[in-house]
Amino acid sequence: MQLVSRIARTVGRALRLNLDLIEAIALGHDIGHTPFGHAGESYLDGCLYRETGRHFAHNLHSVRVLDGIFPYNITIQTLSGIACHDGEFELAKYRPCPMTDFAAFDEMIAACEADKSNIRRLIPSTLEGCVVRISDIIAYLGKDRQDAARAHLTDETFPAGSIGSHNAEIINNLIVNVIDNSYGKDYIAMDETHFAALSDAKRVNYDLIYKNKRVRDEMENAVRPMMEELYARLLSDLVGKRYDSPIFTHHIRYVNEAHYRRAVPYEEGEPNRIVADYIASMTDDYFVDLYAYLFPDSKRKINYHGYFD
């Protein structure tokens, strides 16, 4: 989030945009992300959809965290930027799509929860939101390559295109191009050459990193079944009112202590929503440790390296 914020503020400053709005959108955009990234998001979505017929998506959940779980009274411009930030769907040009009121915004969120394909059509309502969306792509494109190299995930070399192959040069070249093609305009854009290079680099990342067989096997054979077991167990604990369960002691208690003035107690909300809230709040290592705590006899296990191992 901080890298996205720095990139977006750099672009926004050059374009003379509202840096406070950019900062708010950037810091909130991924707060709804699940453990294990987009794979974890997909698995949690499957669990929630089977139980409720509603979809889970991290951008929509970021809005729920900031406007539902913790009602911070955030502006519609900020929430729109957060909801519409998804960098998985790149465009060469982003022209803001005005959001008239909260009723229209709520309808948009509900439509996306009912049909995830609607997320692909979301466009932020402000230039600031558009800047954060394109900055999200710029931020993860090279950083994921950097992380993959450190993890020795692939022996293949990332090809150098017109935007470069390493994190620093990718960030620099794309920022400069976005500024050059957006200054004084009512849209945020990059030229055809840089957009083609960005799309190609993203495709390479998918082939070498995100679809890497080692990663995919670990996700499918371990994380997916662990997610499904954990979801079912937490839902059972919540509905059965097992107050010593971590969903009460680690999650519901924290939410209630942080925001005690609530018309309807948080724990009386839709149970599947609460379980999804809890799982989405977890880090990878918390998820692994919680699973081991709740299923001590399970043969499923993920080993992770601590920061000082």
The domain ranges of the chain are: 2-213, 216-294
Q: Tokens in use for 172?
A: 């620099």
Query: For residue 239, what pLDDT is reported?
Result: 98
DSSP 47-79: HHHHHHS----HHHHHHHIIIIIS-----HHHH
Query: For residue 89, what pLDDT is reported?
Result: 72
Q: Which of 67, 42, 13 is nearest to 28 (CA)?
A: 67
Backbone φ and ψ of 188, nearest 5° = -115, 130
Question: What gap in Å lies between CA 304 and CA 35, rounded to an integer?
Answer: 13
| Number of helices (H), then strands (E), in the chain | 15, 2
For the full predicted model, state whether its pTM sits above 0.85. yes
Helices 167-182 and 2-14 cross at an angle (nearest 10°) of 30
Dump pLDDT digits (tens) for 143-163. Answer: 878 877 776 777 667 777 788
Averaged pLDDT of the chain = 91
Residue 183 near residue 14, CB atoms below 8 Å: yes
Q: Which of 18, 116, 31, 43 is nearest to 67 (CA)?
A: 31
Query: For residue 261, what pLDDT is reported?
Result: 67
Instruction: Please say if the pLDDT value at position 88 is more than 70.
Output: no
Q: Tokens in use for 119?
A: 């997320």
Query: For residue 260, what pLDDT is reported?
Result: 59
Beta bridge mates, 93: 189
Query: For residue 309, what pLDDT is reported?
Result: 61
Q: Tokens in use for 74?
A: 């955030």
Backbone φ and ψ of 126, nearest 5° = -135, 160
Dump pLDDT digits (tens) for 263-287. Answer: 778 999 999 999 999 999 999 999 9
The number of angstroms, rounded, from the C-alpha of 42 to the middle of its chain's C-alpha atoms is 11
161 compared with 238, residue with greater pLDDT? 238
Instruction: Please say if the pLDDT value at position 87 is more than 60.
Output: no
Tokens 């079912």: give the residue. 232
Question: What gap in Å lies between CA 274 and CA 52, rounded to an integer?
Answer: 12
DSSP class of residue 157 equals P
SS (H, E, C) 266-298: HHHCCHHHHHHHHHHCCCHHHHHHHHHHHCCCC
CA separation (Å) from 303 to 216, 240, 283, 288, 292? 16, 31, 14, 8, 11
Superfamily for 2-213? Hypothetical protein af1432 (1.10.3210.10)
Rg (CA), the chain: 20
Q: Tokens in use for 92?
A: 């060469």
